[in-house]
Structure 1
Amino acid sequence: MTAAPQTMRAAVYHGAHDVRITEVPRPERRPGEVLLRVLRSGMCGTDATEWKAGPLTFPVDRVHPVTGSTGPMIFGHEFIGEVVEVGTDSSFRTGAVVASGAGVWCGACDRCREGRTNLCRRYYTLGLNAPGGLAEYVSVPEITLVGVPDGLDLDAAGLAQPLAVGLHAARRSGARDGDRVVLIGAGAIGTFVLTGLRHLADVDTTVVDFPGHRLDRAARLGATRTLAVGDDLPARVEAAIGPGGADVVVEASGAPGQLDTAIRLVRDGGTILQVGLPAKRQEVDVHALVMREITVRTTLAHVCGEDLGPALRILADGPLAAELLDSVRPLGDLADQLQRLAEGRLEGKVLFDPQLQEASV
């Protein structure tokens, strides 16, 4: 029997524009955890922001109050892997393929007892606050894991965690059958929210973005209609869905001024869900919010027990992965892809296979 390797290759974040693919010690499995050989690992806008202007969230220059992590850190919070080592009381067997929700909760605090595990008072996320999955191996709390359905392609399964985030956002919107929903932003997160909305309710969905591939993709994935951004957008939305405004507006772009756009598009007494994170503080028309009794909600991460399993089933049954996946690459391509994402030049999702070796030059 071949001995398990004692080191591994990992993407280690040191600071802005400083990600190094290096050999590090393989993690040891701790009680309550499962050791995974990572099969696919993704990156998201948070990672790109850290690459461009961090450290902001990553505890590189401070000690994280829950995990104790500090200094250069392995990142990556969207990953699936093969189980290689478990404890005696584990519900998983070696060889099983699993997806991780990455967010870890205590299960005992008041927020956890409410079922809002994403707001746990001791919540932390692998790859954001502790070593993550952009590596050959990662040790993961078992509570974050869900088995990947038989027959689901690894590339599709690698999108489960961000789809769970979109599914949670769709739940937070409160959209119900028959509602008129406007979704601002058809990038990756907007696409995941659109998928979640279509999964949860029978809604009339208008997707807004710049003309091009994103809107074309939204139409293929079931948007009722798509509209290009522009000064006359409120008038065009009214012409499309009828007078009065949308029941729900989801702002998923994070672009400056779009929360105010959402206020103009929503009906009196309607709901706005803010998903996107603007880079700077935004001015908001509070007068309109109050006088029109508009509800503003937000959304954070996902609730693993509610969202990760359904996300995997959606990926198994639909065309989302084929529409959204850009490519699968070796770890050595990470810096270039982070730059692409940070500059807005990436339309879909890039996954990394830590087992792939970079092509020789």
Structure 2
Amino acid sequence: MKAIQKQGKGLAAYIETQTPDYGPKDLLLKPLFSGICATDLHVLYHDLGQEKKKFPLIMGHEFSAVVEKVGSEADFYIGTQQKISVGDRVTVEPILPCGKCDYCLKGKVNLCPFMSHLGIFEDGCYADYVRVPAHRVHRLPDNLSDLAGALVEPLACAINFVDKSRIQPGNSVVILGGGSIGQFTLQVALASGAGMVIISDPVAKKRELALKTGAHAVIDPVHEEITEKVRTLTGGGADIVIECVGISATVSQMVHLVRRGGRCVMAGIPSSKIPMDLLDLVFGEIELVGVMATAWQFPRAMRMIELGLVNVQAALERVIPFSQAIEGLKGAFESNEIGKLVIEHGK
């Protein structure tokens, strides 16, 4: 089969390799569409995950797929009592928890210290076929397209970000970062009752997209004084700030944008250590919480798309053929201007 393999830091290549073996409790899936996200760029260019899995590694973790083979003992699936069969369309939770530790038994599978993860710690979906444990698969509703199915995972992450913010109806929310995950977080915050949502991003077209999808205000952090503007718009500071970038500038901004007693959610993945001034955090009794991927948000994500509460394709820059995927990864890493790229397999 064809696959995109990380062979070294910043080095990806198309390869021909064996179709993966699958066990009795696994499914063999044929990916249809796969998303390119910031985590994939961290894997390729910053060696994310290398402490557990040395390259070579087949990348990718956001995807829709069709079931090609079903293991003889595959009899448990999330969110359905029906047996999943060959030919069914599915999406996949890429975190692969151990299922036995204290965190897993309490339902906090995204905190499992023994987890694996498709495209980070084991071979992922940038390939003609991928092996997945059956219990991590969701059947796609009939009215969800294959393309939308590939965007369920990042939308589920955005739902988890908003869950961790403990948003209340009427709250003011600042989202730092207008990339696809920031755009999804914007839509989820609005659907959750936010009274005002503000997006900060230096890229004009991302600010314009945010306004089209419902943001009440946008900020250019390069040419505007962000702290002053947020305090003016919110009457002293936002109730909630959600950081979706993971760089020093935005992490440092968080505690200056939130009101006293407010809540900051750290969702971006830093590629290096970031210094932070904690004085305002202490004197303002500001809550700072980290958030890791998803835990049981996939069904809600699919339902939000079905109900029209979120338009996942609004953030889509373009669909690219599999043959251009490595160029897409490179372009997304080198340019902050590029929006969400999705790979179409078989092309």
Could you state the TM-score of these two structures normalised by the residue count of structure 1? 0.88
Deviation at 1:231, TM superposition (A): 5.2
- Match of 2:198? 206
> CA separation in 2, counterparts of 1:195 and 1:154?
21
1:348 aligns with 2:332: no
Deviation at 1:275, TM superposition (A): 1.4
Deviation at 1:191, TM superposition (A): 1.2
- Match of 1:359? none
- Match of 1:127? 119
Aligned residues: 337
- Match of 1:310? 300
> CA separation in 2, counterparts of 1:51 and 1:279?
12
Q: Quick one: which of 56, 62, 65 aligns to 1:81?
A: 65
Closer, same or farther: CA 162–231 of 1 in aligned 2, 3 Å: same
> CA separation in 1, counterparts of 2:31 and 2:225?
47
> CA separation in 1, counterparts of 2:198 and 2:321?
37
- Give the gaps of 5 or more residues in structure 2: 76-82
- For 1:242-261, list aligned pairs within 5 A: 242-243=235-236, 245-261=237-253
In the TM superposition, what whole-angstrom CA distance separates every residue of 1:30-55 from its partner, at most 9, and x where no partner exists?
Answer: 122111111111221122233334x3
Give the secondary-structure state (helix, strand or coil) at the position aligned to 1:257: helix
- For 1:192-341, list aligned pairs within 5 A: 192-210=184-202, 212-229=204-221, 230=223, 232-243=225-236, 245-303=237-295, 306-318=296-308, 320-341=311-332
Closer, same or farther: CA 349–232 of 1 in aligned 2, 3 Å: closer
Q: CA RMSD in A?
A: 1.9
- Give the gaps of 5 or more residues in structure 1: 1-7, 357-361
> CA separation in 1, counterparts of 2:48 and 2:321?
26
Letter in structure 2 aligned against 1:74: I
> CA separation in 2, counterparts of 1:187 and 1:307?
20
In the TM superposition, what whole-angstrom CA distance separates every residue of 1:224-272 from its partner, at most 9, and x where no partner exists?
Answer: 22222245222222221213x1111111122322222111111111111
Q: Is the 8 A contact 1:185 1:251 kept in 2?
A: yes
> CA separation in 2, counterparts of 1:280 and 1:259?
12
| Percent of pairs with identical residues | 28
Could you state the TM-score of these two structures normalised by the residue count of structure 2? 0.91
Q: Quick one: which of 8, 13, 16 aligns to 1:15?
A: 8
> CA separation in 2, counterparts of 1:328 and 1:225?
29
> CA separation in 1, counterparts of 2:102 and 2:186?
31
Deviation at 1:161, TM superposition (A): 0.9
Q: Is the 8 A contact 1:182 1:250 kept in 2?
A: yes
In the TM superposition, what whole-angstrom CA distance separates every residue of 1:4-50 from its partner, at most 9, and x where no partner exists?
Answer: xxxx1111110123212111111122122111111111221122233
Q: Quick one: which of 53, 56, 67 aligns to 1:72?
A: 56
Q: Is the 8 A contact 2:155 2:312 kept in 1?
A: no
Closer, same or farther: CA 339–9 of 1 in aligned 2, 3 Å: same
Deviation at 1:175, TM superposition (A): 1.3
- Match of 1:5? none
